[in-house]
Amino acid sequence: MAQLRYTRNLFLRGICIIYLFAFLSFYVQIPGLYGDNGILPARTQLDLKARATLLNKMKQKPTFLWFAPYLGLNIDYMLDVLSLLGAILSFAGFVSQKFCIAPIFAGLWSLYYSLYQIGQTFMLFQWDVLLLEVGFLCIFVAPLWYAYRGNPSDYITLWAVRWLLFRLLFSSGVVKFTAGCPVWWKLDALNIHFESQCIPTALAWYAHHLPTWLLRLSTVATNVIELAIPLLFFFPNRKVRIIAFYLQVLLQICIIATGNYNFFNFLMICLCISLLDDQFFYKRKSKNNKSRIRNYLSTLITILVYGGVMYGTYIYYGLKIIDNWTIESNITFTQEEFGYILYHVVVFSIYIGLVSFALTLVPMINSIFYTKEMHKLTDKLTATLLTLVYVLSIACIFAISIVPYSSLSKTFNSTMIDHLTPLTRLHSKVDHLHITNRYGLFSRMTGVDGRPEIVIEGSDSIEGPWKEYEFLYKPGNVNNSLPFVAPHQPRLDWQMWFAALGTYQQNPWLMSLAYRLLTGQPEVLALMNTVENPFRDRPPKYVRASLYHYHYTPWSQTSNTRAWWTRERIGEYFPTFSQNHSPLIEFLTKTMKILQEKPGFKVTNEPLKLILDNLRSLVSKVEPSLILWSVFTAGCAIIVTGYSNSVSKKK
């Protein structure tokens, strides 16, 4: 069986890059989101002056932020320290394999989990909990100490990553049908998606204007890649898995090109590395007839498997070539039939997981007892004990993951409820750690009647004129270009998109945003387009918000206008507020506890405070996505320089 040392190392360094993006993206937004004068101050989540012991505080909310007083810092500065420490550790793992070890990944997971604890609504995204789950697995994937040789446990730990990838993709495919969204069932999702997604790129406008039949066919391809292909992740033929890898990466690249989903799709690509092995990177030529025959047989099996997938797609999606060489597609199964098949597939996939888990033990045992590297008895005993620990740990994680995974099928849950009860109890005890999670993206398509957007306006008079606030990335001005901002996630822009799908009563943080605009809070304004700020000199006396529906401009109008969007005002979103609006002040003071009545924790560590202030001042002058890519480029330069130096020394 092929080795996994290089595959493991590539995966771990890729995860370090994702962590780097996540920590830096979070860091640049701390003052506006979680600072004392931010939208949702982190101090409302922790009371540093409480008299409880540190242990009790950690039990109440496990986060390193409780250590702020011991460093002479308040929560704001401690957030900076944790974010920067996470960025430093992940950067070290990115540029050097020596730092891709279990203690480093344990630290990265702990730091991101600490930030997640106070993230509130701005961190309630599936990719945040996904990063926590992946990061926790990396503690097992990474070696305990730096070593060039591969570990026997690599087989089982990378298998766990593959199981997570399967659950994530398959769940995302399933919920599109189980949610009963008519847009998905009619295969019209991509006719709407490119226009209605949170922060579309410029390419999304062009994708939206592709022929309807091609968009419908692309929807079919998305369904197949998310529903059928993941079942092949555990197929014994490696060529089948490699084709699955290419298909998944192709899907993620298409999503990256048309939508800004921060680090999520890059993380998905890293997870796909678990489908590979070292032979993928170091291809060997066949030296004898037997190996050539095995290679030809493997190719034949791959053709048959994917031929079966294509035939199933042809049958279940009613594919037909009609006039003008266009392809017609329509779903040929009902919701009841899908539910029946889903039950059996969930049961089948769990059994496949168990069998695959058991088969993975074979190369592990072979690696311990039948390789030249393990020639000493002490090495074999040590490897055996460590491998046993890893196997038991991954087995527990697999068992716990069955609970959220089985919820995909209501029939499965109802028939297996007695058998799953012990696992459900175990899952509930560790659920807060996000070791295993429930996934399912884009279960329902929004924006069928038009993309809803909240437009916030300010004025010095209740009678007007009203002037709009511009955001950095989300649609506002119809003439503004569509940006490429990933892997940075502008969390305020994202939450504005979610808020537009509901009411302001369902999104109370908007009241804090309105108040910060009325007071002209620079930390919050920095999260918005300060260049186009209509109230630079002084804040407005009144703010209000309206709901608009946006549509892409038709293709036929591109020669007559520079606008990307057309929009129509639907009505009021939240009413007019003023800075001394009594109900607003009372709500922010008593209900949300955002307006501080008591003095905050005093910062006594002046040298560290000075360093953090200067760094913050420097970072605030650069566009966030540029910071992320600049640091990434610097890491690549260090890697190339280090490799060149090592080659020259060998010569």
Place of tokens 């005002």: 569
Residue 532 CA to chain centroid, in angstroms? 30
Coil, helix or strand for 639? helix
Q: Dihedral sign, CA of 273, 275, 277, 283? A: negative
CA distance 246 to 306: 13
Which residues on adjacent β-strands are paired with residue 574? 545
pLDDT tens digits along 393-402: 999 999 999 9
Q: 339 to each of 227, 232, 267, 331, 443, how far by Cα in Å?
A: 13, 21, 30, 14, 15
DSSP label at residue 570: E
Give residue 625's pLDDT band: very low, low, confident or very high (50, 70, 90). very high
Tell me what pLDDT residue 468 has: 96
Give residue 417's pLDDT band: very low, low, confident or very high (50, 70, 90). low
Average pLDDT of the chain, as a whole number: 91
Tell me what pLDDT residue 418 has: 65
Give residue 651's pLDDT band: very low, low, confident or very high (50, 70, 90). low
Q: 265 to each of 9, 137, 161, 249, 636, how far by Cα in Å?
A: 20, 18, 16, 9, 20
Residue 468 CA to chain centroid, in angstroms? 31
Q: Are 137 and 49 in contact (CB under 8 A)?
A: no
Coil, helix or strand for 559? coil
CA distance 546 to 554: 24
Place of tokens 């990474």: 142
What are the residues whose beta carbons fall under 8 Å from the beta carbon of 402, sequence distance 6 or more? 350, 420, 423
CA distance 455 to 299: 56
Taking alpha carbons only, the member of 367, 406, 323 closest to residue 156 is 367
CA distance 399 to 420: 10
For 378-407, give the DSSP string. Answer: HHHHHHHHHHHHHHHHHHHHHHHHHHHHHT
pLDDT tens digits along 342-367: 999 999 999 999 999 999 988 777 77
Query: What percentage of the chain carries pLDDT values higher than 90?
Result: 76
Q: Are 133 and 386 in contact (CB under 8 A)?
A: no
The ranges assigned to domains in the chain are 1-150+607-651, 187-279+305-330, 335-435, 451-579
Give residue 284's pLDDT band: very low, low, confident or very high (50, 70, 90). low
pLDDT tens digits along 485-495: 999 999 999 99
Query: HSE on the CB side for 549, CA within 13 Å?
Result: 8
User: Which tokens belong to 304?
Assistant: 């048959």
Helix (H) or strand (E) holding 328: strand 327-328
Query: What percentage of the chain carries pLDDT values higher than 70?
Result: 94
Burial code (b: 16+ CB inside 10 Å, e: under 16) for 445-455 equals bbbeebbbbbb
∠447-38-135 over CA atoms, to 5°? Answer: 70
CA distance 5 to 152: 10
Taking alpha carbons only, the member of 91, 110, 251 closest to residue 169 is 251
CB atoms within 10 A of CB 636: 13
Q: Are 459 and 465 in contact (CB under 8 A)?
A: yes
CA distance 180 to 202: 30
Taking alpha carbons only, the member of 24, 23, 33 closest to residue 494 is 33
Least trusted range by pLDDT, from 331-345, 405-419, 540-554, 567-581: 405-419
pLDDT tens digits along 306-322: 999 999 999 999 999 98
CA distance 35 to 39: 8
pLDDT tens digits along 524-559: 999 999 888 899 889 999 999 999 999 999 988 766
Tell me what pLDDT residue 489 has: 94
Least trusted range by pLDDT, from 46-50, 179-183, 462-466: 46-50
Cis preceding linkage at 487, omega within 30: yes
Place of tokens 């399912």: 440
Place of tokens 């989903």: 261
For 132-170, give the DSSP string. Answer: HHHHHHHHHHS-SS--SSPPTTHHHHHHHHHHHHHHHHH
User: Which tokens belong to 591?
Assistant: 């209900």
User: Which tokens belong to 573?
Assistant: 């979103």
Per residue, what are the HEC states of 536-562? CCCCCCEEEEEEEEEEECCHHHCCCCC
CA distance 248 to 600: 49
Mean pLDDT (whole number) for 450-462: 95
For 301-317, give the DSSP string. Answer: HHHHHHHHHHHHHHHHT
Mean pLDDT (whole number) for 267-296: 86
∠373-374-377 over CA atoms, to 5°? Answer: 150
CA distance 161 to 231: 14
